[in-house]
């Protein structure tokens, strides 16, 4: 087992998920729910499914193209999302 990769992926996802929209939605749902454990199960299952899709797509795409190109595309997509968020946020003020 590659412990370094396990802890790197855990730390990266954990830190990136803190305070995001899904966590705020979960907070809101559990606060207004009589059964917060079901909110936990539902939100955990959704995160597992989304992560599984990412792993499957990443693994499948890495067979078709070099890892360096895949990382460059991912970085470009992150940059585009950041710019869109920045532009949306600054235009609302």
pLDDT digits (tens, 9 = 90+) for 29-49: 999 989 999 999 999 999 999
Q: At what angle do helices 36-64 and 67-91 cross, to 10 degrees?
A: 130
Percent above pLDDT 90 for the chain = 44
Section 16-41 average pLDDT: 88
What is residue 46's predicted lDDT score, i.e. its pLDDT? 93
Q: What is the CA radius of gyration of the chain?
A: 17
* Count of beta carbons in the 10 Å neighbourhood of residue 57: 10
Burial class (CB in 10 A: 0-12, 13-18, 19+), 54: exposed
Q: What domain count does the chain have? A: 1
Contact 62, 70 (CB under 8 A): yes
List the domain range (segments joined by +) for residue 72: 3-91
């Amino acid at each position: 087992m590659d412990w370094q990769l396990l802890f790197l992926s855990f730390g990266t996802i954990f830190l990136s998920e803190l305070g995001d929209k899904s966590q705020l939605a979960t907070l809101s749902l559990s606060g207004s729910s009589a059964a917060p454990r079901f909110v936990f199960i539902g939100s955990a299952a959704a995160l597992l499914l989304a992560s599984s899709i990412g792993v499957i797509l990443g693994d499948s795409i890495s067979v078709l193209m070099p890892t360096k190109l895949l990382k460059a595309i991912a970085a470009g997509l992150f940059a585009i999302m950041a710019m869109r968020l920045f532009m949306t946020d600054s235009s609302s003020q």
